[in-house]
């Protein structure tokens, strides 16, 4: 059987189709979007969710230049068999606002202006083969350097020849976080009179004449509210149930991709659903979706190596980790993050529009985590909306934050070499006490008395999970379902250390400092009793490589650990 290529890192639709890459058909949503009453549309999703590829699909479908290639590009897809009236009827004007210079106010304005001029010139160059006069407009932009006013040249040129424009904007908010970090510069550029606001006001002017359709995408809705009076005609379809699967892969689409590209499912030792699935952008949606980039990362590594990679969590997530750290710089947000980490989620409603001034408010901060893909819909519980951490990969970002939090208490780095040393003893020699001693000394004892106010078993578990994951020896699984309940922590071998001798199941209990001997004995007996039940699970039967350990922490300095024999 001849397999298709895997499109890891490729977001050019035509290139995928023409060079025999696999393409998960999302073109039914093109039809849905065209049939909406409002042609000015706004849609956001987390990073690496396939936004750029979808925009490329829109461009090639509606581009008047690509009209003759319709059958070649779309013939085998849904939209190829259900062609819409507006196919191939627009000149496409693209903007991508990534990579702007945000060092200071002047640099940003110059960078933004230059980006608009560049894209306008690309527009004129693209269509000069069918509209020769476009060359003179391009020359005018070069000579006059009108900045965002270059849009007026587009309006004039297309009015002269009677064609309509489809404006596509990618990464509309890419520069926002950097501007926010610069304080007042965000207000200067996005609020009234700023260059970003003026750009969207000018774009709105174009809708009165030649701009017939607009599709804008990005990561978060922070700027929507601030741009409202300048650009108030677009409808935000991000949370509509029918568009839940427009970006992201369903389980069926993941399985189909494997079949089409020849990924051997037997080589995958992890639970893909647990690691990469879980996103739902409206509680009424039918299916949860996988982050496509996470899945393609895994598949690409398998095709390259012929086996499951040692690293199953995409290292590109580090960008999201840095964003998480910046968001948690104030104490209220930090406390909310720790609560989310402890509980695997939080009760909150989703705010659809918010501005910089409200970011420190609880519901706004939590909503931003939702839009960034750090939380997702977890269902309605007793009339309250539960937002949960979507999957294991995202949990690791929270765990890394927890490690950073612990290190930041004393502004002192914890030695990763020493951590790996004690983890090696645990993994290969069965010496779990070496790790627990290290953990108690370097993490628990760092906590202040104030931190202990809300100290409990959950916080200890999260801190354990954080260090166990960052060590690289294990893929720790919290609340792993068992025939007799849920294990606190199951330490599964990491693909990078398959020769290790021991896996572990930890059952944790916590007592405040000063607990009596009888209280400790009772907790220990309770934990060992639970482990006895867990050991009967079919996955653990007749295995001598799994150690079942009861751990009783007392305060932040002492612990008792006993292995079930």
Q: Scanning the structure block, which residue is given the tokens 């040249």?
A: 153
Cβ atoms of 279 and 289 closer than 8 Å: yes
Q: List for the chain the helix, strand, coil content (%; round to 5).
A: 50, 15, 35
Q: What is the rounded CA–CA span in Å between residue 93 and residue 546?
A: 60
Same domain, 105 and 237: yes
Does 311 share its domain with 363?
no
* CA nearest to 246, candidates 8, 42, 392: 42
Which domain range does residue 283 map to? 251-315
Nearest to 45 by CA among 275, 213, 220: 220
What span, in angstroms and rounded, lies between the C-alpha atoms of 153 and 126? 15
* One domain for residues 290 and 198: no
List the chain residues with pLDDT less than 70: 1, 177, 180-185, 227-230, 318-323, 355-360, 405-413, 447-455, 480-485
The number of distinct structural domains making up the chain is 4
Per-residue pLDDT at 558: 86
- 169 forms bridges with which residues in the sheet? 95, 216
Report if residue 192 sits inside a domain.
yes
Last residue of a domain, one of 315, 341, 371: 315
Residue 422 phi, psi dihedral angles, 5° rounding:
-70, -30
Q: Could you tell me if 349 and 426 lie in one domain?
A: no
Q: Report the pLDDT value the prediction gives residue 483, as an integer from 0 to 100.
A: 47
> What's the pLDDT score for residue 410?
44
User: Tokens 């849920």 correspond to what residue?
Assistant: 486
Q: Does the reported pTM lie above 0.85?
A: yes
CB atoms within 10 A of CB 165: 21
Q: Tens digit of pLDDT for each residue in 428-461?
A: 999 999 999 999 988 887 766 555 456 677 888 8
Among residues 198, 229, 171, the alpha carbon closest in space to that of 355 is found at: 229
Burial (0-12, 13-18, 19+ Cβ within 10 Å), 399: buried
The rounded distance, in Å, linking the Cα atoms of 129 and 160 is 16
Same domain, 221 and 325: no
Show Cβ contacts of residue 99 under 8 Å, excluding neighbours closer than 6 positions.
174
Point out which residues pair with 346 in neighbouring strands: 387
pLDDT for 553 equals 92
Same domain, 469 and 524: yes
Among residues 290, 463, 279, 288, the alpha carbon closest in space to that of 375 is found at 279
Which pLDDT tens digit goes with each residue over 308-358? 888 888 777 766 666 677 777 777 888 888 889 888 899 999 988 776 666
Whether residue 398 lies inside any domain: the answer is: no
Query: Are 462 and 513 part of one and the same domain?
Result: yes
pLDDT at position 448: 60
- Beta-carbon contacts of residue 140 (< 8 Å; ≥ 6 apart): 153
pLDDT for position 169: 95
Cα dihedral sign, 170-172-177-178: positive
- Indicate whether 133 belongs to any domain: yes
pLDDT at 9: 85
Dist. CA 104–CA 558, nearest whole Å: 51
């Amino acid at each position: 059987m001849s397999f298709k290529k895997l499109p890891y890192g490729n977001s050019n639709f035509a290139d995928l189709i023409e060079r025999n890459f696999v393409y998960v058909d999302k073109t039914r949503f093109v039809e849905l979007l065209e049939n909406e009453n409002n042609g000015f549309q706004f849609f956001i999703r987390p990073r690496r969710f396939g936004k750029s590829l979808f925009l490329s699909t829109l461009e090639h479908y509606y581009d008047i230049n690509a009209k003759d290639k319709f059958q070649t590009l779309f013939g085998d897809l849904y939209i190829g068999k259900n062609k819409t009236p507006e196919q191939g009827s627009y000149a496409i004007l693209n903007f991508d606002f990534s990579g702007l210079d945000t060092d200071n106010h002047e640099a940003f304005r110059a960078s933004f202006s230059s980006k608009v001029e560049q894209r306008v010139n690309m527009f004129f160059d693209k269509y000069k083969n069918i509209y020769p006069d476009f060359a003179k407009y391009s020359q005018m932009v070069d000579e006059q350097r009108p900045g965002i006013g270059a849009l007026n040249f587009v309006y004039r040129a297309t009015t002269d020849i009677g064609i309509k424009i489809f404006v596509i904007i990618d990464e509309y908010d890419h520069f926002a976080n950097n501007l926010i970090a610069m304080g007042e510069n965000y207000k200067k550029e996005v609020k009234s009179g700023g260059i970003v606001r003026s750009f969207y006001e000018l774009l709105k002017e174009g809708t009165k004449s030649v701009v017939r359709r607009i599709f804008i995408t990005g990561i978060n809705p922070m700027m929507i509210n601030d741009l409202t009076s300048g650009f108030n005609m677009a409808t935000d379809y991000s949370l509509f149930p029918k568009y839940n699967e427009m970006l992201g892969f369903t389980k069926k689409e993941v399985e189909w991709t494997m079949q089409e590209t020849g990924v051997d499912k037997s080589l995958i030792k992890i639970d893909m659903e647990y690691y990469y699935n879980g996103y739902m952008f409206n509680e009424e949606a039918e299916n949860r979706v996988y982050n496509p980039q996470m899945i393609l990362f895994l598949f690409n590594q398998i095709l390259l190596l012929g086996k499951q990679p040692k690293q199953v969590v995409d290292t590109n997530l580090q960008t999201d980790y840095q964003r998480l750290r910046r968001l948690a710089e104030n104490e209220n947000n930090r406390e909310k993050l720790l609560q989310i980490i402890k509980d695997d989620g939080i009760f909150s409603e989703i705010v659809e529009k918010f501005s910089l001034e409200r970011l420190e408010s609880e519901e706004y901060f939590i909503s931003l985590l939702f839009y960034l893909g750090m939380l997702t819909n977890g269902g309605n519980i007793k009339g309250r909306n539960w937002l949960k951490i979507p999957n294991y990969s995202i949990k690791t970002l929270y765990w890394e934050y927890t490690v950073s939090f612990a290190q930041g208490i004393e502004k002192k780095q914890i030695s990763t070499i020493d951590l790996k040393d004690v983890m090696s003893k645990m993994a290969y020699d069965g010496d779990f006490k070496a790790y627990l001693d290290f953990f108690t000394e370097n993490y628990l004892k760092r906590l202040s008395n104030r931190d202990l106010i809300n100290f409990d078993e959950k916080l200890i578990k999260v801190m354990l999970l954080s260090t166990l994951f960052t060590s690289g020896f294990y893929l720790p699984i919290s609340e792993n379902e068992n025939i007799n309940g849920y294990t606190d922590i199951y330490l599964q071998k990491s693909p990078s250390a398959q020769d290790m001798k021991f896996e572990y199941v930890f059952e944790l209990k916590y007592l405040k400092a000063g607990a009596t001997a009888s209280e400790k004995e009772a907790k220990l007996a309770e934990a060992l009793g639970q482990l006895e039940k867990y050991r009967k699970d079919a996955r653990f039967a007749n295995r001598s490589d799994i150690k079942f350990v009861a751990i009783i922490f007392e305060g932040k300095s002492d612990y008792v650990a006993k292995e079930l024999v």
